[in-house]
Amino acid sequence: MLFKYTDADGYDYGLGLPLLTMIVVVLLTAFIMNFTTVGRKIYAMGGNRESASRVGFSVLRLQLFVYGYMGLMSGAAGVVQAWTVMTVAPDSLLGYELTVLAAVVLGGTSLIGGRGTLTGTLLGVILLAVMQNGLNLLGVSSYWQTLITGAIIVVSISVTAWSQHQNRSLL
């Protein structure tokens, strides 16, 4: 625990590094995406890279910024993971790509770009964490958990594609 408080009954309350890091990352990303021109340009580039280029945005510079920021976030995740398990292993987070993709898709982000919010992604992360915690408490095997996570991605993408198809047919 980074910050710890013990009440009169002896119960400990605290704020750990993972939660503090998540709060800082969410606030920083929300600020960048909602209150800076770079954030608005990133949304525009995600919608249509060619259009962003024609409007005059430097797509290469934006991509370098996004990849650099994602590298910074990956480094922060590595530090949190090392702090949590008290050891450093280069392959400790291998295989979490599916979980990250599931959380982002559950949050409403389109895989083809142009749509998505930080709030939706945060809600997707929380929903997936609650689901995986519930599966762990039920004693479900990790292999089945991976299968269920993949099925959630497929269902979420299918529902998104179906709703987009319905919206196009109404127009």
| pLDDT tens digits along 31-61 | 999 999 999 999 888 878 888 899 999 999 9
Residues 26 and 69 in one domain: yes
Average pLDDT over residues 13-19: 88
**Residue written as tokens 């890091």?**
21
Residues 120 and 162 in one domain: yes
Residue-averaged pLDDT of the chain: 88
Q: State which of 65, 89, 113 marks the end of a domain.
A: 89
Q: How many Cβ atoms sit within 10 Å of the Cβ of residue 124?
A: 22
Q: In a 10 Å sphere around its CB, with 0-12 CB exposed, 13-18 middle and 19+ buried, how is residue 59 labelled?
A: middle
Query: What is the band of 25 on the pLDDT scale with cuts at 50, 70, 90?
Result: very high
Nearest Cα neighbor of 83 from 19, 151, 162, 4 is 19
Residues 2 and 84 in one domain: yes
Segment 69-103, tens digit of pLDDT: 999 999 999 999 998 888 888 888 888 888 888 88
Query: Which domain covers residue 165, as residue numbers?
Result: 95-170
Residues 39 and 107 in one domain: no
Which pLDDT score is estimated for 114? 67
How many domains is the chain partitioned into structurally?
2
Residues 2 and 71 in one domain: yes
